[in-house]
Chains A and B, each alone.
Chain A
């Protein structure tokens, strides 16, 4: 990489995207966008204990199970179908 490239807006953006997971870019497709939203949401559910408890109540599961399920979701069966978004 040349020295001038470092100040190039694109490389700065790339750097930001690498640093801050979930930062969008111009070519983001609908699916990637939705996946990011979903991962952000589940991380927030896991982080906010009262919300986790609220879900656990609704589903009548233990909070520990609910947390585990939420961590599994982005890769499990409940993962949204790609055709659904594109």
Chain B
């Protein structure tokens, strides 16, 4: 079995971010690392975050920094990854890609203890960069310019110190003196040599300054001083002319200013009043704002509170350090303060935010200062505060993030054309259930009713130079309605259009005249109001029209084509006639190319299943250049230019090819390349779009022509980062559409459907899925589907949180204390949605922290059709739900029951412990909308896996697999097997086989013998795998994923499988000797692939009707990917060769070897990396040609292959 791996949705979580001017203009950009993807983002003028570039780097990005050479206007990016290399990137605006300026190897690849890459710090003046590992190694590279102003990099200078752990590094701003780097270090040599553990407890962290002597080209340890043992992060303090220089050390509960030869200035970080006393406050992210002579720091704590930190200084002496409460936003991994007054907050889980500064915290607020620091016998006196609503920030945009996907199911609950993906995302109060549908999100601007059922709509400008459209023209069966676009849209009669007849086409002709084609003629309305009419000869009527700004072709009934062209005076002149063999089904002319007088090709579709290309050149006018036969009569044609390759931020510098698109009556969209010179058709592609014949219209997307296809649902064909994408829109069936541009919406679409006129815009281009978000209360763990009633049952649980009642009580108390003006109506709705009027929404502030063995948990029944929660059971007494399944016991007394496995007072540190484990059995009442507890059975472990099996319940309780039957007052043990190695976390069953997944030891294949009432393991895996997700593929095969980011398939060899099945007494497997401390038989690994992200859920399904079955997976970073099985050997050969060439010709951006990355833990086996293959269109054309030649194909054919295989998946 060979699989094709393709990422459907890139990871949405962010690992780290840096901001700067990467394009070299004044605009501020943000570069973000999303694990294995590097993205360049930019907030546009409307305050929406736009993705400019997204590159998969096939490596784990761990740190990012930006730097600028003195006097330059453009920032470079330094990337620390797992490649054992330092990579410096520059954004190339013309080609819209990252150029690798330097790549220097310094060590082995992989995230190792002593190989640098974990931390990066740059000198604030851009003269040097330090890259460090968690332990021992630090390397400094000197950055400079050569004579032609190119960036140069030196050989590495070592600043190693063995037996030292590094917590953080930062550059020290010391103007143009020698660059200095600071590091928090901990020396463990003594702790290692002393076995009593005394020195380990006395180990002391130090702040060390490393100086790079630019003259001697040498790094030396300049200064080292003990610091607070809770230190975890360093922040550079501006120096030189801007500030006092030095460093801010963020430690648990404190922020300390330090500099060489300067006394410590220390202030406490204010604590939330409700924080348990044993919990510290740690700063997790920091940002610096510098503005002329002023600077301040924003520091965010692990609870989400942002503090503004300022330094009072007198030249180089810092007199006071102040920490003032600023605002609270969800916990971030990185904050970027943009010069334009925005704050980009990359959340660690859930949606990222873009905030605007309304103030910079100058008002009075809770503040701690070094001047008022009080030291008592118990330590420093804490400062308390109460979080409040936004005062200084205002959220203006958010970027959707699925991180983390906890569970996922693909099913068609809404009975739509394609199945929906239900995902459980997020954590704590920000968790949600998201329903994903393949397609682009649409935002509806207006819907208005029309007096009849329209059949067509057009928009038209009055002048070619106008920015916006002037009229919307709607055609009915016997009339035409003209609406003028202004402040409002209203009917007008003075437009010159004939309103007593239906229209066939309305468009702008020449620079400033309008044309209306109706069944009996052409009406040409000149700019000065003169009207020229051309009447059809005899009783013939016009049936089809094709036109652009200078040319018009009409088809009369009977099959005659008449070609008109505009002359120099602006008159429409008849040029040529042509008799076709039968009626014409559709027509199209491409727009006039830039700098030309006319377009050369006319495409004509006939009812005899052919499409012809006719010439419009004066010398061979109306000659048939080529003929293409198709499977069904064409309904609609569109000639569209497509850039086959990228280039430029918005345009391509490579020759574009013209595609002839045809919507056929059988619902297929047929695309073929038109040769620009000869008009020959080649390279055909077809795709089924829906049950209705697609009608094609041109629209504008980001200023370029795109294609709207209206079948049983609308589709958009457009170019995104060099790829032509054909994506469905999540909108209703439409009849007719036209592009629309007005004051309020610059790139919209106006369409008719039924008797309504609809105006909408298309959002978030480039995304594969559009999502509907339903908030949840706690971190969702798992969910199941109620098989008959189409309900979802979700279990949610949070550690260290208070239950809803306790929170409600605390909240009331707090509000009363605050003055009691607000009425404490924090009901369920508000708690989950965090409405704007809610002064303390949990979504923003997080739940108050409790002790670690406190849990809050609930079971929810959710009805997707009405998007409502019909039942929400909060578990009591510190219980938390971990597993759920529906079960039909064989006595059928109650029908379908719900089993939920819970643990009471579970604790992970210092050792896993719990008070008790339970299995709850619930009964569905009120048509499944509510739950009633039947009974609760105490078990001797935590039931992490539950599954129905032959009318009984199988439970994995710690290392025990047990079969239960339903009793009157509790579950009854029927049979058990205690021989599993660690903890059972998944159970799948098929016939009498049971596939058990162990948390550390991969899969165990078991068999249940009913006559003997015994469970035994007959096969297991020979490799320890820390299982995180599993799925049953077929009788002998399981798919699994481990904690380290690998996906694999296991199969029981056929002969063993047969033997097991043929063993009538079961005595053989039962008494067989085990091998390798396990079962007598071993399963074989048939597929192996490193995804590079922790896969948390997987399912075998098909995302499109008629598409191939593939394994869909979701990951912690919020990525959704698919593994599709190849159906032919030829495809396997083709793609493995393409992959091989891509590996050679296009090595990954951050320096990690592709094959080594995909084999990071186990050698990759029988999986072809589609993400690498899909980078083919981004290669320069000569390289594409070279690879294509090696494969005996043309680049076009390769692109078609890539498109085809993608279309099989989604």
Q: How far is the CA of A22 from the CA of B798 in the complex (A)?
A: 37
Assess the B186–A75 pair: CB atoms within 8 A: yes
**Are A43 and B135 closer than 8 Å at their CB atoms?**
yes
Q: Is the CB of B162 within 8 A of A21?
A: yes
Interface status of B703 (Cβ within 8 A of chain A): no
Closest to A78 in B: B910
Q: Could you tell me the distance in whole angstroms from the C-beta of A29 to the nearest C-beta in chain B?
A: 10
List which B1108-1122 residues lie within 8 A (CB) of chain A.
1115-1117
Cα–Cα, bound, A43→B112 (Å): 6
Indicate whether A56 sits within 8 Å of B195 (C-beta atoms), given known contacts A47-B118, A50-B35, A51-B1044. no
- A contact residues around B15 at 8 Å (CB): 49
Of the candidates A49, A56, A60, which one forms a contact with B62 in the assembled complex, judged by CB atoms under 8 Å apart? A49
Chain A residues with CB under 8 Å of B1093's CB are 50
A44 within 8 A of B: yes
Contact partner of A60 among B203, B333, B798, B1116, CB < 8 A?
B798
Q: Which residues of B contact A46 (CB under 8 A)?
A: 111, 118, 134
- Complex CA gap A61/B909 in Å reads 13
Report the minimal beta-carbon distance from B1047 to chain A, rounded to whole angstroms: 13
B285 interfacial by beta-carbon distance below 8 Å: yes
Complex interface: chain B residues within 8 A of A56 (CB): 348
1/0 per residue B212-243: CB within 8 Å of A? 00000000000000000000100000000000
Given contacts A47-B62, A50-B35, contact A39 B348 (CB under 8 A): no
Contact B348 A63 (CB under 8 A): yes
Does B510 belong to the interface (CB within 8 Å)? no
Does A68 make an interface contact (CB < 8 A)? yes
1/0 contact string of A42-86 vs chain B (CB within 8 Å): 011011111101101111111111001001001101110010000
Chain B residues whose C-beta falls within 8 Å of the C-beta of A64 in the assembled complex: 232, 282-285, 302, 331, 333, 348
B284 contacts A53, C-beta separation under 8 Å: no
Pairs of residues from A and B, 6 with the lowest C-beta to C-beta distance, nearest first: A47-B111, A64-B284, A43-B113, A62-B302, A60-B799, A50-B1094
> Which residues of A are at the interface with B, using a C-beta cutoff of 8 A?
18, 20-22, 31, 35, 39-40, 43-44, 46-51, 53-54, 56-65, 68, 71, 74-75, 77-79, 82
CA gap between A56 and B801 in the complex, in Å: 15
Q: Are B800 and A60 in contact (CB under 8 A)?
A: yes
> Judging by beta carbons under 8 Å apart, are A40 and B404 in contact?
no
Contacts of A39 in B (CB 8 A): 113, 135
A78 to B191, alpha carbons, bound, how many Å? 14
CB <8 Å contact, B799 and A59:
yes
| Cα–Cα distance between A39 and B852 once the two chains are bound (Å) | 25
Which residue in B200, B283, B1043 is a CB contact (below 8 Å) of A75? Answer: B200
Question: Which residue in A21, A48, A75 is a CB contact (below 8 Å) of B203?
Answer: A75
Report if B89 contacts A (CB, 8 A). no
Q: Which residues of A contact B544 (CB under 8 A)?
A: none
Q: Across the interface, do B1116 and A50 meet the contact criterion of CB distance under 8 Å?
A: yes
A53 touches B1117 (CB 8 A): yes
Contacts of B1195 in A (CB 8 A): none
Known A-B contacts A47-B118, A60-B801, A71-B165; the reply to A54 vs B1043 at CB < 8 A is yes
Q: How far is the CA of A68 from the CA of B251 in the complex (A)?
A: 10
- Residues in B with CB closer than 8 Å to A43 are 111-113, 133-135
**Is B779 at the interface (CB under 8 A from chain A)?**
yes
Are the C-beta atoms of B1115 and A44 separated by less than 8 Å? no
Does B728 interact with chain A (Cβ within 8 Å)?
A: no
- Provide the residues of chain A in CB contact with B331, threshold 8 Å: 62-64
Contact B134 A20 (CB under 8 A): no
Contact residues in A for B181 (Cβ distance below 8 Å): none
Cβ of B118: which chain A residues have Cβ within 8 Å of it? 46-47
* B 999-1039 to A, binary, CB cutoff 8 A, 1 in contact else 0: 00000000000000000000000000000100000000000
Q: Which residues of A contact B406 (CB under 8 A)?
A: 57
**Pairwise interchain contact A53-B186, C-beta atoms closer than 8 A:** no
Cβ-defined contact, B404 with A53, below 8 A:
yes
Residue of A nearest to B167 (CB): A71
A57→B232 CA distance, assembly (Å): 21
**CB pair B282 A50 closer than 8 Å:** no
In the complex the two chains form, is B162's CB within 8 Å of A71's CB? no
Q: Per-residue 0/1 for B684-721: is the Cβ within 8 Å of any A Cβ (1 yes, 0 no)? A: 00000000000000000000000000000000000000
**New A-B contacts (7) at CB < 8 Å, excluding given A22-B113, A64-B348:** A43-B134, A49-B35, A54-B1116, A62-B302, A63-B331, A68-B167, A79-B197
A51 cross-chain contacts in B, Cβ below 8 A: 1043-1045, 1094
B16 and chain A: residue at smallest CB distance: A49
CA distance A21 to B188 in the complex (A): 13
Task: With A50-B1115, A51-B1044, A68-B282 as known contacts, state yes or no: A57 contacts B404, CB within 8 Å.
Answer: yes
Bound complex: CA A51 to CA B801 (Å)? 23
Q: Closest approach, in angstroms, between the C-beta of A71 and any C-beta of chain B? A: 6
Smallest Cβ-Cβ distance to B428: which chain A residue: A60
Contacts of A57 in B (CB 8 A): 349, 404, 406, 427, 779, 1116
1/0 per residue B747-779: CB within 8 Å of A? Answer: 000000000000000000000000000000001
What are 21 inter-chain pairs, A to B, with CB distance below 8 A? A18-B162, A21-B135, A21-B162, A35-B192, A39-B135, A47-B111, A47-B112, A49-B60, A51-B1043, A54-B1116, A56-B348, A57-B349, A57-B427, A57-B1116, A59-B852, A61-B302, A62-B303, A64-B284, A68-B232, A75-B191, A75-B200
Q: How far is the CB of A76 from the nearest CB of chain B, in Å?
A: 8
Report the bound CA distance from A22 to B635 in whole Å.
70
Specify which chain B residues have a CB less than 8 angstroms from the CB of A63 in the assembled complex: 284, 331, 333, 348
CB-nearest residue of chain B to A60: B799
Most buried by B among A35, A65, A77: A65
Closest to B281 in A: A65
CA of A65 to CA of B348 in the docked complex: distance in angstroms?
Answer: 12
In the docked arrangement, what's the CA distance between A49 and B238, Å?
30
Chain A contacts for B543, CB-based, 8 A: none
Q: What mask results when residues 650 to 678 of chain B are scored 1 for a CB within 8 Å of chain A, else 0?
A: 00000000000000000000000000000
B271 interface hit (Cβ, 8 Å)? no
Docked-complex contact A60 and B427, CB < 8 angstroms:
yes
Roughly how many angstroms separate A85 CA and B423 CA in the complex, as a whole number?
43
A-contact 0/1 string along B184-204, CB 8 Å cutoff: 001010011001010010010
In the complex, chain B residues 946-966 whose Cβ is within 8 Å of any chain A Cβ: none
- A64 to B134, alpha carbons, bound, how many Å? 15
Whose C-beta in chain B lies nearest to the C-beta of A86?
B195
Whether B908 is near chain A, meaning CB under 8 Å from some CB there, is yes
A62–B303 Cα distance when bound, in Å, is 8
Say how far B431's CB is from chain A's closest CB, in angstroms: 10
Chain A residues lying within 8 Å of B1096, measured Cβ to Cβ, are: 54
B390 to chain A, nearest CB (A): 21
When distances are taken between beta carbons in the complex, the residues of chain B under 8 Å from A35 are 192
Q: Residue on A with the closest CB to B195?
A: A82
Contact residues in A for B1082 (Cβ distance below 8 Å): none
CB of B302 within 8 A of CB of A48, answer no
Q: Assess whether B565 is interfacial by the CB under 8 Å rule.
A: no
For A39, give the chain B residue with the smallest CB separation.
B113
The CA-CA distance from A51 to B406 in the complex, in Å, is: 14
- CA A79 to CA B282, docked complex, whole Å: 21
Identify the closest chain B residue to A70 (Cβ): B134
Shortest distance between the CB of A6 and any CB in chain B (Å): 20
Contact A53 B232 (CB under 8 A): no
Q: Which of B188, B349, B427, B1045 contacts A48 (CB 8 A)?
A: B1045
Residues from chain A with a CB closer than 8 A to the CB of B1116 are 50, 53-54, 57
Q: Which residue of A lies closest to B13 (CB)?
A: A53
A20–B909 CA distance with the chains assembled, in angstroms: 31
B114 CB, min distance to chain A CBs, angstroms? 5
Q: Which residues 906-926 in B have Cβ within 8 Å of A in the complex?
A: 908-910
Chain A residue numbers with a CB within 8 Å of B327 are none
Output the least CB separation between A53 and chain B (Å).
5
Determine the distance from Cα of A60 to Cα of B427 in the docked complex, in whole angstroms.
8
Question: Would you call A48 and B60 a contact (CB within 8 A)?
Answer: yes
Question: Nearest A residue to B134 by beta-carbon distance?
Answer: A43
Find chain B residues with CB under 8 A from A65 CB.
Answer: 282, 284, 302
Q: Choose one: B188, B232, B1028; the contact of A74 (CB below 8 Å).
A: B188
B883 to chain A, nearest CB (A): 15
Nearest CB on A from B346, distance (A): 11
